[in-house]
Structure 1
Amino acid sequence: MSFTTFQQTVLERHNTLRARHSAAPLELDANLCNFAQQWANVLASKNVMQHRSNNKYGENLYASFGNANVTGNEAVDSWYNEIKYYRFGASQPSNFSQVGHFTQVVWRNSRRLGVGIAKRGTSVYVVCNYDP
């Protein structure tokens, strides 16, 4: 799968899932994609999973170890599947560590998306950044 196809797949999956929650569709942003790609490259070069410090954007990370054929849907679905832990109706989720990726995918205020992917051997790192 080409890089552009991967980005488009990630965008389309986000928008399909966001529509379930009446959230506006996201648009790919070239600057945000570059930002996400830079961090994906860092993660792959260091072979670590960690959020970027002092990040002004929302961020979701995904990694696969031993399977270099990751699809965009796999990454987005892994975040969205936290819906099973989300308590609808609560003003503030008390279990944010369990649902933070899900809420980022469907966050209504977000309008722009950046997607990056980097590989190291059979490991794959995916970074999505969200604005705002």
Structure 2
Amino acid sequence: MSANDETLRSVRVDRVAAGQYTATNPKGVTISLGSGDEAFSPVELLLAAIGGCTAIDADVATSRHAEPAGFSVTVTGHKIQDDLGSRMTDLEVTFRVSFPEGAEGDAARAILPRAVKLSHDRLCTVSRTVEIATPVKSTIVHEA
């Protein structure tokens, strides 16, 4: 599949103050990020994106059978510096999900492992991109 306008996704990141930024998507939704204690760091946003992507996939599949009683996803990893530069290693996604007792809850519990595996192996664009190691290109545009 080739890249085109239909496949294009984007966010804009604007500097608000020293070490503080706002990311805005095309829908106008914003999130704060930065290097201080008041916002998500870019690494935390990467972890949240991995967790959110796979959580959505698993939730869609399981909630067709039963509404979860509890649904939490934790993503961990180690930020290191080595010969390859600064990067994250040992990324791990942990699901803590509970469903009500009964046939519908049993069906949701039964499908959860398959849904998580399918998300990891095929569906979650974020974790798939990280695992495949898609190159990142930087461009500078000087504005007057």
| TM-score computed with the length of structure 2 as normaliser | 0.24
Greater helix content: 1
Computing the radius of gyration from Cα coordinates, the structure with the larger value is 2
Which of the two has greater strand per residue?
2
Q: Determine which structure has greater relative contact order: mean sequence separation of CA pairs < 8 Å that are 6+ residues apart, divided by chain length.
A: 1
* TM-score, normalisation: structure 1: 0.26
